[in-house]
Amino acid sequence: MKKIICFIIVSMFLTWNVSADILTVTNTADSGTGSLRRIIEIANNGDSIIFDKSLAGDTIELQSDIPNFNSISISGKNASVVIYGAKISGGKIIDNLTFDNSGIQSPDDYSLIPMLISDCTFKNSLNSAISYS
């Protein structure tokens, strides 16, 4: 019996996929397939979000805040884009993005997900560009 249980446990570890995915934003729409909102919705802990190179210099106009409760990375290194109009909540690493009349909101319990914000630009932020719940 112990051998069977040990075999099952070892099999579970061998088949468990620990790799993170790289998800790509492919358009500037507020929602729908390929949008930043949709990509954040389907991202899992550890995943990274990048922007398609064709979006370089484009603006993503958000109609409402995007909640994010996962520990994900969002990087504009591949294609620097402007996030306009609403905030992105949470994330693990957010870098190389411009937030215009927008910003970053920590998750409700920001102590659970430490955030690193690097090489971001904040413009026209009437409220705090980076805020905590």
- Assess contact for 123 and 99: CB atoms under 8 A: yes
Specify the pLDDT at position 50.
97
Name the residue with tokens 């075999």.
7
pLDDT band at 71 (very low <50, low <70, confident <90, very high): confident
DSSP, residue by residue, 65-123? -B---S--EEE-SSS--EEESSEEE--SEEES-EEES-EEE--TTTTSS--EEES-EEE
Query: Which residues partner with 94 through β-bridges?
Result: 74, 117
Q: Kindly report, residue by residue over 3-44, the tens digit of the pLDDT.
A: 554 444 444 444 444 578 999 999 999 999 999 999 999 999
The structural domains of the chain, with segments of one domain joined by +, span 20-125
Q: Kindly report, residue by residue over 78-127, the tens digit of the pLDDT.
A: 898 999 988 888 778 889 999 998 888 766 555 555 678 899 888 887 55
Q: Which of 5, 7, 37 is nearest to 23 (CA)?
A: 37
